[in-house]
Amino acid sequence: MVNSFVWTPEEAKYLKAVLRWQASASSDDEKRRQLGTTAEEDAARRRQQQGQEKPAGEFRVLVVGGRGTGKTAILTRFGQGTFRGEGEPPDPFYERGCRHPITLDSSGITTPIPPPTNPKEARSQQHSQTYMVDALEMPSKQLLSNPMLEQALNITEAAVLVYDVRDEASLRLARGLADFMREHFSCSPSTPNGNTSGGTPKPSNNLRPYALILVGNKADPETQAGADSDEREREVTWAEGSKAAAAMLMPMPGGGSASGVPFLEVSAKTGENVDQIFPAVGREILRLKRLALQRREQAERAMKLIQEARGVGDKSGEVGARKGKFGLWRSLFVGRRQAAAAVGGEGGY
């Protein structure tokens, strides 16, 4: 699913219902004319962004948060390096998400890397690896629909929880979303609201690693308390955001809960720390995948040992049964021979 763009029916339903992915050539051309760009320029820009290097992998990431937290602004800054301003409409090309490469230092990657096929690739693996990020933004109005959010979680492998440092309510919403995700990826047969889905337990997702990161946006210099500006003052301190992230526990592969999730404060307006969001997500995805692989291998080894122990026990029982069987026939055979000899002896006298 992650490395393929052949959508399953569930993914197609999500893209239509949640993201409203209605690709209209005429509307896209009209938007490009309004923005002063062409399809060729957009394609050239994407090729320039992606470069000629084949990515080592792909990450499908959900960007979710309350209304006005700056989700589209973060994606615009991440994919285009620009900021349109809070008073301007969001960039239509980044309203639903974006596709953009990131580079991870190979020294911090713990997942197995395939052996290089040529010297150039070998040199590149010694320094960094390029990964493609497919970031999907979930409209805040869809957060009221639990099925929509569940579908979004089912087709992604990580989520960026965004809140506004100037709005404490947006952090409370982020906490609620984290609780929803924890329940979704637990093995509980009930929905996050505590209600069963028609009496049928939902499939367990607890063996699938899912990364989560909390991001406090709009941490601009103007939002600092006491700043002489028309901007709203900060309502959530860095310490409060960090504490909230530490309290967000996600199920770990194979059971158990993690001790908190990564946390960042960023500014889509100035670009500060925005370039760290998706590399942090990528590293967390790779870490969880590695952990899931290790625990799966441990479980397989344990199962193999159990099966081998059972096999030895079965063979021992089988040998014992054969010995008992032969011993019984031997006793019967010897008994019959002794009886025959006794009868023969009497007849001879």
pLDDT tens track for 65-106 = 999 999 999 999 998 888 877 666 666 666 678 899 999 986
What are the C-alpha distances in Å from 224 to residues 171, 275, 276, 307? 17, 22, 21, 62
Q: Would the pLDDT of 50 be above 90?
A: no
Which spans in the chain are helix H? 9-17, 25-35, 39-50, 71-80, 119-127, 146-154, 168-184, 238-246, 274-348
What percent of the chain lies above the pLDDT cut of 70?
Answer: 55
In a domain, 134, yes or no: yes
Specify whether the CB–CB gap between 42 and 32 falls below 8 A: yes
Nearest to 161 by CA among 97, 216, 210, 205: 216
Q: Region 269-281: what's the mean pLDDT?
A: 95
Q: Would the pLDDT of 28 be above 90?
A: no
In a domain, 238, yes or no: yes
Distance CA 201, CA 235 (A): 41
Largest CA distance in the chain: 133
In a domain, 129, yes or no: yes
Q: How confident is the model at residue 269 (pLDDT cuts 50, 70, 90)?
A: very high
Q: What is the pLDDT of residue 334?
A: 54
Pair of tokens at residue 226: 């006491």
Q: What is the pLDDT of residue 55?
A: 87
pTM for the whole thing?
A: 0.66
CA R_g for the chain: 31
Run of H or E including 144? none
Q: For all residues of the chain together, what is the average pLDDT?
A: 74
Distance CA 171, CA 177 (A): 10
Distance CA 238, CA 244 (A): 10
Q: What is the pLDDT of residue 176?
A: 96
Domain span at 92 = 9-300
In a domain, 104, yes or no: yes
What percent of the chain lies above the pLDDT cut of 90?
Answer: 37
Residues facing residue 98 across a β-bridge: 135
Neighbour-count burial of 279, counting CB atoms closer than 10 A to its CB (0-12 exposed, 13-18 middle, 19+ buried)? middle
Give the DSSP per-residue string, 149-216. HHHHHHT-SEEEEEEETT-HHHHHHHHHHHHHHHHHTSS-SB-TTS-BSTTPPPPP-TTS--EEEEEE
In a domain, 338, yes or no: no
Q: How confident is the model at residue 24 (pLDDT cuts 50, 70, 90)?
A: very low
- The total of structural domains in the chain comes to 1
Specify whether the CB–CB gap between 61 and 55 falls below 8 A: no
Tell how far CA 287 is from the center of its chain.
Answer: 11
In a domain, 343, yes or no: no
Nearest to 158 by CA among 291, 288, 330, 338: 288
In a domain, 67, yes or no: yes
Looking up residue 204, the CATH number of its domain turns out to be 3.40.50.300
In a domain, 320, yes or no: no
